[in-house]
């Protein structure tokens, strides 16, 4: 016969204390309200009987689930796991759990995911899916859920965000290629509906302008998405349009890896014929051949900062809308060489 599950009231009866005492002890945030000796006795008896608090009942009672939804646009993109790890590490310290979901890039699918998260009473949502003009952010604001974006942001900052300093990153990349003697540089531009694609393009234009290159002389090819396949297609187009190209500055590392594929198919060598530089320093790009020169973004730190922002919102700190920009770093490896 299956043993009956221990309840809070049953445990309180065994201990001879009020059920509220057991409730306070089992919640790390209120445990300090109970004397140490009593708290230890409750914890010991709870462990003995396998008692665990009913989180769903507690959420209904307190209107707090200690869950934070995290929406990713592409869980297969190696950029996002370090962000999620940073979020989880920081939330866990405060007794919160991340509920991670792959929401994709489709707004209807994202709307479904948001509604499902809200139905599960998440206390807040961290969006890694934001576009420059995002209807999902509008929906979240209408639902009055605490919200932060990470890695991407809106043009009109209605919510706080943690992003990379895209202009600084492009200055580093352009400066590196110019120092190596490259002048025929093509930028593979990321999707323009995303802040990362748009701001990196603007950063490239600004960095080249600072070197006296007119906007009309810039070489840019737009990519349909941040994928290796899109990078390969764009690289083929770039070399057909600008055959004297000596260096390619890709909008992210996946696009850069697509360049490797295109160059190999054309019988060209990297960096002997064409230098390639990426953006992100996602895991394992140091293990490809040649190891990829790229702009490193601190994705784990980005996740930590996003979690800290959402926790401050949940603690009802009046901080207004903030944009935290993390400083990028150039990592020089084997895919770039002097011209």
Res 26: pLDDT: 80
283 neighbors 333 (Cβ within 8 angstroms): no
Same domain, 139 and 173: no
What is the reported pLDDT for 17? Answer: 86
Structural domain count, the chain:
3
Beta bridge partners of 126: 70, 148
Residues 136 and 96 in one domain: yes
pLDDT for res 1: 42
What gap in Å lies between CA 277 and CA 282, rounded to an integer?
Answer: 13
- 2-8: long-range contacts at Cβ-Cβ below 8 A with a sequence spacing of 24 or more? 6/46, 6/49, 6/50, 6/51, 7/51, 8/51, 8/53, 8/54
Q: Per the omega criterion (within 30 degrees of 0), is the bond before 188 cis?
A: no
Clarify whether residues 116 and 179 are in a common domain: no
Q: What is the CATH number of the domain that holds 260?
A: 3.40.50.2300
- In this structure, the answer to whether residues 126 and 157 fall within a common structural domain is yes
Structural domain of 12: 8-53
Are 172 and 279 members of one domain?
yes
Beta bridge partners of 73: none
In this predicted structure, what is the pLDDT of residue 61? 52
Same domain, residue pair 201 and 290: yes
pLDDT of residue 35: 87
335 located within any domain: no
Contacts 24+ apart (CB under 8 A), 56-62: 58/27, 59/121
291 plus 303 within the same structural domain:
no
Question: What is residue 245's predicted lDDT score, i.e. its pLDDT?
Answer: 97
Residue 273 corresponds to which tokens in the numbers above?
């014929």
Position 318 in a domain: yes
Check residue 300 and give its pLDDT: 97
Pull the structure tokens for residue 258: 């697509």
Residues 198 and 264 in one domain: yes
Q: SS3 of 331, please?
A: strand
Is there a contact between 234 and 187 (Cβ–Cβ < 8 Å)?
A: no
> Within 13 A of 15's CA, how many CA atoms are on the CB side?
28
Helices (H), the chain: 8-15, 19-26, 36-48, 55-62, 80-93, 107-119, 135-142, 166-179, 195-209, 228-241, 253-266, 299-314
Q: Residue 44's pLDDT is what? A: 87
197 in the same domain as 280: yes
Of 17, 33, 53, the last residue of a domain is 53
Count the neighbouring beta carbons within 10 Å of the beta carbon of residue 56. 11
CA 241 to chain centre: 34
Tens digit of pLDDT at every position of the chain (339 positions): 445 677 888 888 888 888 888 888 887 767 888 888 888 888 888 888 887 776 555 554 556 689 999 999 999 999 999 999 999 999 999 989 999 999 999 999 999 999 999 998 899 999 999 999 999 999 999 999 999 999 999 999 899 999 999 999 999 999 999 999 999 999 999 999 999 999 999 999 999 999 998 888 999 999 999 999 999 999 999 999 999 999 999 999 999 999 999 999 999 999 999 999 999 999 999 999 999 999 999 999 999 999 999 999 998 766 778 999 999 999 999 999 999
């Amino acid at each position: 016969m299956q043993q009956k599950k221990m309840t809070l009231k049953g445990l309180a009866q065994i201990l001879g204390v009020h059920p509220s005492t057991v409730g306070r002890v089992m919640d790390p945030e209120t445990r300090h309200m109970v004397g140490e000796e009593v708290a230890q006795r409750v914890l010991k008896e709870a462990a003995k009987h396998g008692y665990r608090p009913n989180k769903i009942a507690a959420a209904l009672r307190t209107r707090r689930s200690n869950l934070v939804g995290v929406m990713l646009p592409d869980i297969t993109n190696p950029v996002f796991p370090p962000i999620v790890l940073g979020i989880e590490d920081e939330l866990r310290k405060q007794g919160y759990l991340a509920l991670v979901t792959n929401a994709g890039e489709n707004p209807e699918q994202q709307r479904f995911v948001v509604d499902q998260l809200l139905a599960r009473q998440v206390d807040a949502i961290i969006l890694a899916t934001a576009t420059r003009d995002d209807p999902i952010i509008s929906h979240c604001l209408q639902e009055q859920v605490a919200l932060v974006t990470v890695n991407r942001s809106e043009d009109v900052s209605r919510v706080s965000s943690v992003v990379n300093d895209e202009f600084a990153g492009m200055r580093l990349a352009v400066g590196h290629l110019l120092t190596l003697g490259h002048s025929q540089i093509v930028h593979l531009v990321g999707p323009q509906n995303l802040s990362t694609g748009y701001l990196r393009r603007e950063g490239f234009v600004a960095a080249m302008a600072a070197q006296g290159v007119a906007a009309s002389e810039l070489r840019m090819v737009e990519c349909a998405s941040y994928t290796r396949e899109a990078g390969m297609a764009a690289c083929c187009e770039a070399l057909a349009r600008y055959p004297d190209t000596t260096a390619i500055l890709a909008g992210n590392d996946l696009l850069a890896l697509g360049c490797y594929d295109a160059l190999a198919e054309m019988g060209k060598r990297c960096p002997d014929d064409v230098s390639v530089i990426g953006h992100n320093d996602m895991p394992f790009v140091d293990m490809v051949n040649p190891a990829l020169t790229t702009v490193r973004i601190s994705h784990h730190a980005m996740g930590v900062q996003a979690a800290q922002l959402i926790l401050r919102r949940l603690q009802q700190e009046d901080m207004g809308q903030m944009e935290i920009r993390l400083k990028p770093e150039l990592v020089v490896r084997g895919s770039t060489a002097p011209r």
